[in-house]
Amino acid sequence: MSNTDLDAVIPMLVVTLAALATMIAEAFRKPEEHPPMGLLGLIGLGFAAVTSTYLWGRNTLGFGVIIADNFGLFVTITLVIIGILTILFSSAVVRRDGMPEGEYYSLILFSLVGMMMMATATDLLVVFIALEVLSLAVYVLTGIRRDVAGTEAAFKYFLLGSFSSAFFLYGIAFTYGVTGSTKLADIGSFFSAQSLSGNPMILIAVGLLLVGFAFKISAVPFHMWTPDAYEGAPAIVTGFMSTGVKVAAFAAFARVFLSSLEPFKNDWAPLVAALAALTMILGTVVGVAQNNLKRMLGYSSIAHGGYLLVALVAANDLGKQAILFYLLSYALTNLAAFGVIALLGSRERGNDELRDYAGLWYTRPGVAVLMTVALLSLGGLPPTAGFFAKYYVFLSAVSAGYYGLAIIGVLTSVVSVFFYIRIVVYMYMQEPTTQTPPRVSNIGVAALTLAIVAIFYLGILPTSVINLASESIGTIF
């Protein structure tokens, strides 16, 4: 083992140590004590951000299966941002809702480790192990309140997730059977000299891998778990898994399909394009009919997965940059929206129905403004991050000749604005119909403000992040 091997895994290692420290602190704390468990997570994530910045541009390979290239580091930093915002939002929510603090924060950190590993893995078996690490933690987080809705959501998520993991593992097995390796570089070298139509085993392998990834990104028709899991889980957990899992899954999806399986792009691209179109349409159309805000944002998340698939299908340089920029923009925006839901809820009621936001401008005007910005960004309106995220995706599709996908994307984006604006109308143009929402903690307001400032920064000055994304894609594609 060399120093280079350790360098590549340092960001994951420090987050793992933070998770273990949180578990130990939970084991030794007295029942009447409430130490700041989240602080340990913030320290670990802070070190992960610093070490990721230090590794930038080095393309460090660790143990032959993890690579700290710019692509993986960009995703790792995005995951660090997700983790920090989640912990800040959670500080006012975990104790209020009676969730076990030590378990909660350690599960958040362990799932982040799995996500980071998934984004930087160069071996399909390591991708699978990372997928299971993050999935098991998220399954438990979904039902961590131990109420009926959360337990049901966790059970459904677990069952369907197990099926998708089996599909993915079978895909790895078929890939190994064809190529004799699970390393992405070896698989790419082997496939570059093969024809997809000439070997049905390759076709089966690609199809099974696609199913496994499609489930994790909530692509139609593998989206069935999403609305139930999002509604049943605590709002802050929903925000975390709707962003972190999608970021990690898309990073691995792009690394596998745009690198190792790139020789077969002409074969798998039409199928992924069909999935993108169906995902955008279903996520938008069904989302319009929802009255529960968490389910609505769940279908919104499905639609956003479709937009990301458009960039994946385009597969040009702009599309690859757009994937990274979109993941960061979406993570900030969706976490802000779910952060508001979590902070305005209470132990007795989640305040996640549309009617609960009637007159929010009159009761909590600052929170209403912050929520409005997040919703407008989800709708892709300027000058927010969501506008440029969708602009780059659609521009990449047009540049690659996928005019139909670009048109569907624009039309569904226009329709999706309706259900985002509907929430804004409730907040500003209706009288309060329920009791006054609880006061939002200072830490919660600070976290929301940070997210909103970042959303405006990406919407007004996107060039610097796009340049970083451009540097990132050159390391693997």
pLDDT per residue as tens digits for the range 185-223: 888 888 887 665 567 888 888 899 999 999 989 898 888
Instruction: Indicate whether 442 pLDDT > 90.
Output: no
Of 424, 411, 324, 425, the closest CA to residue 377 belongs to 424
Binned at pLDDT 50, 70 and 90, residue 135 comes out as: very high
Q: What is the largest CA-CA distance in the chain?
A: 67
Separation of alpha carbons 243 and 332, rounded Å = 8
The C-alpha torsion from 37 through 17 and 141 to 78, rounded to 10°, is 100
Average pLDDT over residues 154-174: 90
Q: Quote the tokens at residue 41.
A: 């997570």
Binned at pLDDT 50, 70 and 90, residue 121 comes out as: very high
- Phi/psi of residue 402, each to 5°? -95, 70
121 by DSSP, 3-state: which? strand
Range of the domain at 313: 3-473
Give the bridge partners for 353, in sequence order: 292
- Position with higher pLDDT, 123 vs 4: 123
The total number of structural domains that make up the chain: 1
Average pLDDT over residues 228-233: 87
- Within 8 A by CB and 6+ apart from 154, the residues are 139, 140, 142, 143, 229, 232, 233
Q: Quote the tokens at residue 453.
A: 């400032």
Of 90-104, 283-297, 384-398, which has the strongest mean pLDDT?
Answer: 384-398
Question: In this predicted structure, which of 231-235, 346-350, 419-423, 465-469 has the lowest mean pLDDT?
Answer: 346-350
The number of beta carbons lying within 10 Å of the beta carbon of residue 391 is 15
pLDDT in tens, 341-369: 988 877 666 677 888 888 888 888 888 99
Q: What is the pLDDT of residue 434?
A: 67
Give the bridge partners for 68, in sequence order: 60
Q: What is the pLDDT of residue 72?
A: 93
Q: What is the pLDDT of residue 362?
A: 87
Separation of alpha carbons 335 and 350, rounded Å = 16
User: Is 122 within 8 Å of 183 (Cβ atoms)?
Assistant: yes
Binned at pLDDT 50, 70 and 90, residue 153 comes out as: confident
Q: What is the pLDDT of residue 147?
A: 81
Entry pTM: 0.95
- Position with higher pLDDT, 224 vs 21: 21
Binned at pLDDT 50, 70 and 90, residue 375 comes out as: very high
Binned at pLDDT 50, 70 and 90, residue 452 comes out as: very high
- Mean pLDDT score across all residues of the chain: 89
